[in-house]
Amino acid sequence: MAKILEFEEPIKELYDKIDQLKLLSKDGKIDLDSEINKIEKRAESLKKDIFSDLTPHQIVQIARHPNRPDTTSLARLICDRFTQLYGDRLYRDDPSIVGGIGMIGSQRIMLIGHQKGHDTKENIYRNFGMPHPEGYRKALRLMKLAEKFGIPIVTFIDTPGAYPGLEAEERGQAEAIARNLREMVGIKVPIVSFVIGEGGSGGALAIGVSDCIFMMQYSVYSVISPEGCASILFRDAKKSEDASKSLKLTAPDVVKLGVADSIIEEPLGGSHNNWEGTADSMKKHLLEILKSFIKKDPDTLIEDRYTKFRRIGSFISS
């Protein structure tokens, strides 16, 4: 049973009504088609209304929706072939980050992304998409592999953050993230990132130092979770709604701040209601941007990547 968010309930009520009417018209002699049609239209326009006026807090909820398409599912929908590769060659394979080689038509890609689950069991296995250092080290290993064979890198960002745990600290969570940031800047193949759900802090950035960053319409990207921000700065964990607003974490804000490059529209009602539609438009954007990188030589690519991050930040200078 799909999870229904609070603000989606009026839409669901209408769809429930449509289902009931359809059932009635099936076994009865009454023709309810025009009635059903009317309600369907109403449901669509209600959906449009609700989704065109979401608060940052509501967008955070969509970004974290358990039915949102995950990295592996999107990889299989976008690629004609996708083969996963495992392990960091140092400690273990981290199921919170997946990666592998794939083909889209004649385009080769190395796809790496955070992996969340859709239910509790999956999420425990995937550690809710919160990687340990070995996840980041696996990601870097795969990026170097892609560089060696001249394959563009595509990353899918979807994590609450790097895992704050005892073993993660022992094995150097900070070092693993830091190293990825430094190494990604110098990778000699194009890197394209999609924030597909939750872009949580350093744990997200560690696979996000890219030439082009797309944000899905209802994804978020933030320095800290609204809950974390609320408890630290607002001194009240219940103020996460206010924090979502203050942090400017929605796609339009992140683009405005010069961090993300553009927004990919989601199917009406959000990606969690239409995985295929989501994958289709991601694929279209991906192929287009990869085409534009073909002409760039590695030095220009790296120079432009450097400049992209070098420019971010405002300050006063007297």
End-to-end CA distance of the chain: 59
Helix intervals (H) in 102-172: 120-125, 133-148, 166-170
Q: Choose, by CB under 8 A, the member of 247, 263, 286, 290 that binds another protein.
A: 247
Up-side HSE of residue 266: CA atoms within 13 Å toward CB? 27
The answer to whether 80 contacts another protein (rule: CB under 8 A) is: no
Residue with tokens 């560690």: 206
Q: Out of 97, 209, 216, 286, name the contact with another protein by CB under 8 A.
A: 209
Cα 201 to Cα 161: distance, rounded to the nearest angstrom: 6
Distance CA 187, CA 152 (A): 10
> Can you read off the two tokens belonging to residue 160?
């609450």
Give the CB-side neighbour count of residue 72, counting CA atoms within 13 A.
14
> What tokens appear for 91 in the block?
């400690």
- Can residue 188 be called a binding residue for another protein (CB under 8 A)? no
Nearer to another protein, 221 or 275 (CB): 221
314 forms part of the interface with another protein (CB under 8 A): yes
Shortest separation between residue 53's beta carbon and another protein, angstroms: 21
Report the distance separating Cα 163 and Cα 202, nearest Å: 10
304 binds another protein, rule: CB under 8 A: no
Q: How far is the CB of 32 from another protein (least distance, A)?
A: 50
Using CB under 8 A, pick the residue from 31, 105, 297, 315 that binds another protein: 315
User: What phi, psi does 243 have (nearest 5°)?
Assistant: -65, -40
Give the interface segment with another protein, choosing from 33-41, 73-81, 103-111, 308-316 (CB under 8 A).
308-316
CB of 316 to another protein, least distance (A): 5
> Exactly one of 257, 265, 284, 300 binds another protein (CB under 8 A); which one?
257
Rg of the chain, C-alpha, whole Å: 21
Q: Cβ of residue 265: shortest distance to another protein, in angstroms?
A: 21
Burial (CB < 10 A; 0-12, 13-18, 19+), residue 214, is buried
Q: How many residues bind another protein (CB under 8 A)?
A: 56
Q: Does the footprint of another protein cover residue 150 (CB under 8 A)?
A: no
Non-local (6+) Cβ contacts of 88 within 8 A are 94, 134, 135, 137, 138, 141
232 touching another protein, by CB under 8 A? yes
C-beta of 192: minimal distance to another protein in Å? 16
Based on the shown chain and the rule CB under 8 A, indicate whether residue 316 belongs to the binding site for another protein.
Answer: yes
Assess 140 for contact with another protein (CB under 8 A): no
How far are the Cα atoms of 58, 131, 200 from residue 167, in angstroms, in the given order? 33, 11, 20
When binding is defined by CB under 8 A, the residue of 26, 29, 121, 235 that contacts another protein is 235
Q: Is 309 in the site for another protein (CB under 8 A)?
A: yes
> Which tokens go with 259?
């961090």
Binding residues for another protein, per CB under 8 A?
Answer: 162-166, 168-175, 177-179, 181-183, 185-186, 201-202, 205-206, 208-209, 221-224, 229, 232-235, 243, 246-249, 253-254, 257, 259, 305-306, 309-310, 312-318
